[in-house]
Structure 1
Amino acid sequence: MREKLHFEFGEVSVYKDYVIVVMKEGITVAPKYNDDLIKISEAYFKNRKFGYITHRKHSYSVDPQIYFKTSKIKNLVAFAIVANENPITKTSDLEKKFLKQPLKVFLELENAVNWVQELVKDEILKTSNHHQF
């Protein structure tokens, strides 16, 4: 891990190719919190692809409008949700409608990390191959 950041909404752990976010119990994730994600993307992933993993350890709600702004982060290539409860899949189906990036739900954090790292690697390869022609 490169760094652990604390915000009003929760905690963000920054790694080489991704972030893991744990939201605080009972909050509503609102579009205003996206400004912090944008600042993180600019500070830690400038000109580099990265993935976002939300580890849903606590119960909270999400304003789906946040995904309109999240989708505009150009270097964000994957969005993973880690949750050990089944009702989350209904929520994630709704979230997929608002998000341009691939979104996948996992029961295990390790599987989410592997998936995100694979997508980031694929995007880097696509970009570097594209520049060769």
Structure 2
Amino acid sequence: MITSYQLDFGLIEIFEDYIKVTMNEGVTVSPKHNCVLLEMVEKHFKNKAFLYLTHRINSYAVDPTIYLETAKIENLIGFAVVSKDPRQKKQTKLEKAFFSKELRRFDNIESALQWKDKLLKKNHKPIF
């Protein structure tokens, strides 16, 4: 891990090629949270491909329209939802309808990170 930020709505951890977010219990994720994400992207992933990983260990709500804006982040290659909660399968399907990039749910972080590596390899564009 490169660094982390404990914010009022959750914990943001920055890694070499992904950002891991663990929202606090009871939060409602809304478009205002995108401003924070954009700041993190600008600071840590400027001109560098990365994955957004949400570790859903707490119960919270997501306004799915947030994904319309999140998908506009050019260097975001995908969105991984990590949760063993079976209700997250339905939630992830709903969220995917609003997100124009890759979005998948995983039971564990290791599987999500393997997927990230595949996406990075697939999205790698050689510089000439």
Q: TM-score, normalised by structure 2?
A: 0.96
Q: Which residue of 2 aligns with 1:75?
A: 75
Distance 1:117 1:38 in 2: 22
Distance 2:121 2:13 in 1: 20
Q: Which consecutive unaligned segments of at least 5 residues does structure 1 have?
A: none
**Secondary structure, counterpart of 1:98 in structure 2:** coil
Distance 1:5 1:121 in 2: 28
Q: TM-score, normalised by structure 1?
A: 0.92
Distance 1:62 1:36 in 2: 15
Q: Which residue of 2 aligns with 1:44?
A: 44
How far off its partner does 1:113 sit?
A: 1.3
Distance 1:37 1:119 in 2: 20
Distance 1:121 1:23 in 2: 28
Query: Any runs of at least 4 consecutive aligned residues in structure 1 with deviations exceeding 3 A, and if so which?
Result: none
Distance 2:116 2:78 in 1: 6
**Secondary structure, counterpart of 2:97 in structure 1:** helix
Distance 2:9 2:33 in 1: 7
Letter in 2 for 1:96: K
Is contact 1:28–1:61 with CA below 8 Å preserved after alignment?
yes
How far off its partner does 1:61 sit?
A: 0.4
Q: Which residue of 1 aligns with 2:29?
A: 29
Deviations 1:4-26 (A, max 9, x none): 11222211110000011000000
Q: Which residue of 1 aligns with 2:100?
A: 100
Distance 1:19 1:120 in 2: 14
Structure 1 or 2: larger helix share?
1
Letter in 2 for 1:95: E
Distance 1:41 1:6 in 2: 16
Letter in 2 for 1:64: P
Distance 2:122 2:35 in 1: 27
Is contact 1:18–1:117 with CA below 8 Å preserved after alignment?
no
Provide the identity percentage.
40
